[in-house]
Amino acid sequence: MSVLPRDGLVAVVKRDCPTCELTAPVLGDLANRAGLQVYTQDDPNFPENVPHRIDDTGLDVSHRLKIEVVPTLIRLQDGAEVDRTYGWDRAEWERVAGLAGLGGGLPEMRPGCGARNIEPGIIERLKIRFNETGLRSRRIELGGDEDEHEAMHERGWSDGLPLVPPTEERVLKMLDGTARDPQEVVGIVPPILAPATVEKIAINAVMAGCKPEYMPVVLAAVEAVLDETFAMHGVLATTMFVGPVVIVNGSVRRRIGMNAKGNALGQGNRANGAIGRALQLVIRNIGGGKPQEVDRATLGNPGKYTYCFAEDEEGSCWEPLAVERVGLKAGQSAVTVFAGFGLQGVVDQKSRTPESLSRSFAESLKVMFNVKSAPSADALIVMSPEHERTYREAGWSKARVYEELYKLTEIPGEDLVAGAKGIAEGGPASRAGTMVSKFRPGGLMIVRAGGNAGMFSGIIGGWSSSGPRGSTPVTKEVRN
């Protein structure tokens, strides 16, 4: 390991930097006049006019000095740094060096270049080498012949699909996606009530295949499902089909490349898939929520791998879901989590009036959960562009659509009585002669998503919102 002088001038440079090449004559001048020591990051022979160049291609010195830009000129005194400048600025170099007349014939200023020691991949390895990661999670050592992918499956970390190995380098990169303290506890994850730190969430985000820029959305989704009103323990333990559905609003959708268009609820988009999967892995690996253990779902649904998509706000004539629910400004980023079933299609290719289309939606909504179940659970309508166009052209606001759907989903009580229509399921005979709403007030939500072709929308039914064990949707702002 290279040793820094206790006193004098030190410069850190690299050949692959035009400004370092430009200042090579100055470096040679300072080496002759002031005994400058030069550490080179990429080519031990650069600069040729400086005697006794010191090879820092391992970047140890650069890391210890926290070099961000090359060239950097530093003055040391009694083993401590007392001054520095970076890039080329004649006046600053003369001040730090304590010498006049530097760089005759050179321009007054030139910006420097990024240092090698802070490049992605390199900085993480240096932090690990110098034990500066700050990571507290236990490291699992694998045997020399042990396949890392099989090892993760055998240890029960996987949802059944291959995982990305959460190496220290990858976790550090993931943590770069948020300014939050890695040891901040985001929440307590059921069923084992384990604390979910930002670091542990990052580990699961790595395994899910996230990019660092997804981290703020993943963190917001975890915060949302751990909100008491979402009742994550109940969502996990119920024998119903449900799992968290994540709807993303705001500018973050575009920034991380989420899909709100064709196949928005399907495969093919990394952000959609990885964010929802990271949330499920957090529930599994931090909270211990595993199938056939605390996860008691009779059938489950494919969305329990991942169920995450963005709302098509730009194409919609209505306010976004997050604006509607919690009053955020348009463009503010947020996630809404909803305890949802799989997708139920609504196919209506002939309705050309909002009245007719609303009846199609209402009849489809009535069968959700069970035709005899009312008040039923909440429901999320994913409105396709072609269906939304019918309402847009008629000038219907979202509030009017809600009003119409609540009215059309009222059901005569006699149809809900046990035994009615030859179905044993049902309520007490006292319901006869009344009108019963299928949904509680506020139990319906509408978002626009999907491709421009196809008069097909979807309904995502939800777990019952009634009673102390029910789940209600939760919206959380994304903190950048």
Does some domain include residue 362? Answer: yes
- CA distance linking residue 59 with residue 67, whole number of Å: 10
- CA distance linking residue 28 with residue 30, whole number of Å: 5
In this structure, are 231 and 318 located in the same domain? Answer: yes
Q: Residues 207-248: pLDDT tens digits?
A: 999 999 999 999 999 999 999 999 999 999 999 999 999 999
Phi, psi of 249 (to 5 degrees): -120, 160
pLDDT at 250: 97
DSSP H helix total and E strand total for the chain = 16, 20
Does some domain include residue 218? Answer: yes
**Looking at the 3D structure of the chain, how many domains does it have?**
2
- pLDDT surpassing 60 at residue 343: yes
> Whats the size of the chain, residue-wise?
480
The residues that bridge with 109 in the sheet, in sequence order, are 89
Phi, psi of 172 (to 5 degrees): -60, -40
Res. 309 pLDDT band, cuts 50 70 90: very high
- CA distance linking residue 442 with residue 472, whole number of Å: 10
Does some domain include residue 129? Answer: no
Does some domain include residue 435? Answer: yes
pLDDT at 52: 86
CB 71 within 8 A of CB 22: no
pLDDT at 122: 95
Tell me which of 117, 142, 177 is where a domain ends. 117
In this structure, are 30 and 164 located in the same domain? Answer: no
Q: Is 131 exposed, middle or buried (0-12, 13-18, 19+ CB in 10 A)?
A: exposed
CB 203 within 8 A of CB 452: no
Q: What is the CATH number for 36?
A: 3.40.30.10
CB 444 within 8 A of CB 406: yes
What is the DSSP code string of 427-445?
A: B-GGGTTSEEESS-TT-EE
CB 335 within 8 A of CB 442: no
Res. 469 pLDDT band, cuts 50 70 90: low
Does some domain include residue 133? Answer: no
- pLDDT surpassing 90 at residue 466: no
In this structure, are 154 and 112 located in the same domain? Answer: no
The residue written with tokens 């706000």 in the block is: 313
Report the pLDDT averaged over residues 413-439: 93
Does some domain include residue 134? Answer: no
In this structure, are 315 and 414 located in the same domain? Answer: yes
Q: Are strands 444-448 and 379-383 parallel, antiparallel or unpaired?
A: parallel
In this structure, are 84 and 222 located in the same domain? Answer: no
Q: Is 120 exposed, middle or buried (0-12, 13-18, 19+ CB in 10 A)?
A: exposed
- pLDDT surpassing 70 at residue 51: yes
Helix boundaries (H) for 89-179: 90-97, 122-129, 148-154, 168-175
Q: At what angle do helices 198-208 and 168-175 cross, to 10 degrees?
A: 110
In this structure, are 371 and 244 located in the same domain? Answer: yes
In this structure, are 331 and 392 located in the same domain? Answer: yes
Domain coverage including residue 226: 150-477
- CA distance linking residue 447 with residue 336, whole number of Å: 11
Range 355-393 burial, b when 16+ CB lie within 10 A, else e:
eebbbbbbebbbebbebbbbbbbbbbbbbbbbbbebbbe
Does some domain include residue 127? Answer: no
Res. 384 pLDDT band, cuts 50 70 90: very high
How much is the mean pLDDT over the chain?
95
In this structure, are 166 and 292 located in the same domain? Answer: yes
Q: Is 298 exposed, middle or buried (0-12, 13-18, 19+ CB in 10 A)?
A: exposed
CB 54 within 8 A of CB 38: yes
Q: Is 211 exposed, middle or buried (0-12, 13-18, 19+ CB in 10 A)?
A: middle
Does some domain include residue 223? Answer: yes
- pLDDT surpassing 80 at residue 39: yes
Tell me which of 93, 117, 141 is where a domain ends. 117
In this structure, are 32 and 168 located in the same domain? Answer: no
Res. 465 pLDDT band, cuts 50 70 90: low
pLDDT at 289: 95
Report the pLDDT averaged over residues 408-436: 94
The residues that bridge with 72 in the sheet, in sequence order, are 12, 86
In this structure, are 61 and 107 located in the same domain? Answer: yes
In this structure, are 106 and 156 located in the same domain? Answer: no
Report the pLDDT averaged over residues 360-386: 93
In this structure, are 172 and 226 located in the same domain? Answer: yes
CB 477 within 8 A of CB 333: yes
- pLDDT surpassing 70 at residue 254: yes
Tell me which of 117, 134, 168 is where a domain ends. 117
pTM score of the predicted model? 0.90
- pLDDT surpassing 80 at residue 467: no
